A = this chain, B = another copy of it.
Amino acid sequence: MALPSKVRIVEVGPRDGLQNEPGQLSLEDKKQLIEMLAGAGLSHIEVGSFVSPRWVPQMADTGELFAKLARKEGVLYSALTPNLKGLEGALAAKAGEVAVFGAASETFSQTNINCSIVESMERFAPVVDKARAAGLKVRGYVSCVLGCPYEGDIAPAQVARVAQDLWDMGCDEISLGDTIGVGTPLRTQALIEAVAAVVPVEKLAVHFHDTYGMAIANIHQALLLGVAVVDAAVAGLGGCPYAKGASGNVATEDLVYLLNGLGVEHGVDLGRLCEAGWFISERLGRQPTSKVSQALKGREKDCLLTHL
């Protein structure tokens, strides 16, 4: 088991992090967040979703956001597109990559996107075809890869089947999502081994939520198995807005700290990243859940020395 020399971080904060925020954030704040993230060195940023505003009101302005964004050379700006209508929006917005999102759990698929896994694949196929024909890269998300809120444990073989379907359909990268953050390193290992048997490991990304505090350990495990693309959200955005302290995505700041400690290249400036995290957290009226961000802020206040 050897670590990759370089990792690509996919910053999902503006999309996965913000999509469930109940209070509408201004377009200007979203634009500033994304520009700060690009300024910190992130080279792949998920800007938003082209979904029905009835489903996800916070993402209703994704098209306008793409239009107003000052794009930085070398940065990939991507968006979620569940169907052909969404793809049209992404093409009009000149997104650099689109993503379809399926589930490894049948019940979750029905509940989240109102169709069976098989039906979701039939819906995605023309989206993937048309996106590729237009020269866009396509990402395929698989949710609930380490557990489902309805079905409990999900077998690695089941995840591998869904991942292979998305791969065979033409997706360029498959992101494996521990949507409810229940995974631990041993199950992460079994998952990666099962999926890497059917999709090349260099085409896999991991997407951990930190609900149970295991995300960094799980990412480390995945890196040791050859995974070199990791999703994360600045400030750990994406928690349940109704539960104080509940965790969302793994914080990009904590991921960067891990990679620094492992000597793995990533291209991100931790200080500027923390600034972006504090900016959006202040707009949301709370602290970043990133422990790294909190610790660095504490150090500024000379607090670290008081509790030794």
A contact set with B: CB distance below 8 Å: 3, 20, 108, 111-112, 149, 179-181, 183-187, 210-214, 216-217, 219-221, 238-248, 251, 254, 257-258, 260-263, 287, 290-292, 294-295, 297-298, 301, 303-308
In the bound complex, residues from chain B placing their C-beta under 8 Å from that of A298 are: 240, 243, 246
Partner of A254, one of B186, B212, B290: B212
B306 touches A187 (CB 8 A): no
State whether A257 touches B184 (Cβ < 8 A): yes
**Contact call B186/A263, Cβ cutoff below 8 A:** yes
Q: What are 11 pairs between A and B in contact, CB < 8 Å?
A: A20-B306, A184-B260, A184-B261, A185-B261, A187-B261, A212-B292, A213-B291, A214-B254, A217-B220, A220-B221, A246-B298
In the complex, chain B residues whose CB is within 8 Å of the CB of A247: 291, 294-295
Q: How many copies does the complex hold?
A: 2
Tell whether, in the assembled complex, residue B254 and residue A303 are in contact, meaning their CB atoms are under 8 Å apart.
no
* Nearest opposing residue in chain B for A244, CB measure: B287
Q: How far is the CB of A285 from chain B (nearest CB, A)?
A: 14
User: Would A183 and B307 count as touching, CB distance under 8 A?
Assistant: no
A240-B298, A261-B185, A287-B245 given as contacts; is B213 within 8 A of A308 (CB)?
Answer: no
A295 interface neighbour in B211, B254, B258, B306, Cβ under 8 Å: B211
What residue of chain B has the Cβ atom nearest to residue A216's Cβ? Answer: B217
Q: Do residues A220 and B185 form an inter-chain contact, with CB atoms below 8 A?
A: yes
CA distance A248 to B111 in the complex (A): 39
Chain B residues within 8 Å of A108, by CB: 308
**Which of chain B's residues has its CB closest to A219's CB?**
B217
Identify which of B183, B185, B212, B254 contacts A213 (C-beta below 8 A).
B254
Q: How far is the CA of A44 from the CA of B300 in the complex (A)?
A: 36
By beta carbon, the residue of chain B nearest A218 is B217
A246 pairs with B295, CB closer than 8 A: yes
Cα–Cα distance between A257 and B241 once the two chains are bound (Å): 24
Known: A108-B308, A217-B216, A303-B246. A291 touches B210 (CB 8 A): yes
